[in-house]
Amino acid sequence: MVIHSSKSDKFSPSNNLIALCLASFVVVTGFGVILPFFPLYAKEILFNFSFLGLPIGIAFQIGIMTSAFMFTRFLLAPSFGDLSDVSGRKPIILVGMSIYTFLLFGFGLAFDFLSLLMLRALQGIASAAVWPIGEALIVDTSTKSTTGRNLGYYIMSMQAGMAAGPLIGFIFYAGLNGIVGFPPILSYRLTFICQGVLGLLATMIVALLVKDPSQSDSENLTIIGSFMIAIKQMGRKIIQSPRYLVTTFSTAEKYRSRSLYTIYLVAIINGFGNAMIFPIIALFLDDYYFLDPEFIALIIGIVGILALSGNPLGGTLSDKLARKHVVWISGCLRGVFYLILGIQWGLFAVVIAFAIQRFLWAIYQPAFRAIQSELIPETVRGKEFGIVQALFNFGSVMGPIIGGALYDYFLDVTFNLNGVVYLGAGVTFVLAGILGIIGSITLLLFVNSSDYQTSVKKPIQGTELAASLMEK
């Protein structure tokens, strides 16, 4: 995508960046608000049961729910990205935000494991239409010298959403349960309903503010118009190739190099390691440090806020230094801090280690994405960003299940290592840390700057496509 000269006087990259950051913030807030409620699920909604003779514990169920989100996101992120290369980025982003908002209301009505599982799977579909495509649009409208910085701000908005989600959960839940006196489960439901209202308002704002420079009339595109464009174009794709939704990233392309395939592999490793930790960190704080949901939300939120400065720092460093060195150093250090999270040494020390790990991850992400952007021609950027996101999610599908199973198995075990007590559930942290170090070293060894793209930018026919679809 390029900015047409006729539109240059009406388009502001900085305004677009702000609007897209708002979109990612809202979506990730809805994702993060669920995190501190996992212990509440364990007490109020979920229960242990057996399936085909196998015991299914609470942590394992939470892992399955997280995997459902990652699995649907894995399936559809490349397809939505590919679709955005043709129909434009904004229609797909608006469709995803609209669905996401609807699902937040659904979480307020969920009553058992199956309903939560279904909602998480649908949430993954919606997020696949927002996160990677927003990244692609930011790269479309950034210069080489500002790509890392702008991606840093975009990822910072995601981290802010992850921090704000638990904090919003804390504020609503603590207020409704502790001050008003509502029962815990009712306070939980009202929290998500209020979040749904905020999501609806944000979707309307994004519809007005986000401009897709490939479409001459994108500023006038309504949410209904976006749905029409996205659905009709996807229908055309499916008719042309019925297997389109699951084969988008299977074709070998000439621009794909050893470096890009290394990015694919590292994305899988990162997804697996990250997803092992996400569903069990709240349970870990509850089981070993006996914290209530509102205090877990407060800790996770504060840690997220402290980590925010790492995103623009990582992006800026990647613009000024060798990008892959920023990635592998921050990745290896992050792996080390993962390893020490399971040591029994007091709540304060655990929170500090968790905060440093999050800060290093914040540095890592924009630099990693900047490398990715330099390996991909602009004409397929949406598709390839979707593929990398899908492969991250592919790793994330099995991570929560294995992490949850390990957590349940080692929950009542401790290890004494020369006087240092290591908590049994910390086995998941050990595996995640080792994977992080392996992924970082793999990137250092196999990503080569000679593979970076110097392709000529070509505009997509977004304007003509939008007009023809709307006429029909």
Q: List Cβ neighbours of 28 (8 Å cut-off, separation of 6 or more).
A: 157, 158, 159, 160, 161, 162, 165
Rounded CA-CA distance 211/275 in Å is 33
Within 13 A of 419's CA, how many CA atoms are on the CB side? Answer: 0
What is the sign of the dihedral through the CA atoms of 16, 17, 20 and 21? Answer: negative
**Who's near 454: CB < 8 A, 6+ residues apart?**
none
H or E element, residue 414: strand 414-417
Cα gap 223→291, rounded to integer Å: 42
Domains detected in the chain: 10-471 (1.20.1250.20)
Task: Say if pTM beats, i.e. exceeds, 0.75.
Answer: no
Q: Please answer whether residues 41 and 47 qualify as being in contact, where contact means their C-beta atoms are separated by less than 8 angstroms.
A: no
Q: In whole angstroms, what is the distance from residue 383 CA to residue 262 CA?
A: 17
Q: What is the pLDDT along the chain (472 residues), one digit of tens a residue?
A: 333 333 444 555 677 788 888 878 877 777 677 766 666 666 677 777 777 777 777 777 877 887 788 788 777 777 787 777 777 778 888 888 888 888 888 877 777 778 888 888 888 888 888 877 887 788 777 777 777 778 778 877 877 877 777 777 777 777 777 777 787 777 777 777 877 887 887 787 777 777 777 665 444 556 666 667 666 666 665 555 545 445 455 555 677 778 888 999 999 999 898 888 877 888 888 888 888 777 777 787 788 777 877 878 888 888 887 788 899 999 999 999 998 888 888 888 988 999 999 899 989 988 898 888 888 887 777 778 778 877 887 888 888 888 888 888 898 888 988 888 898 888 999 999 999 999 999 999 998 876 666 443 433 333 333 334 334 4
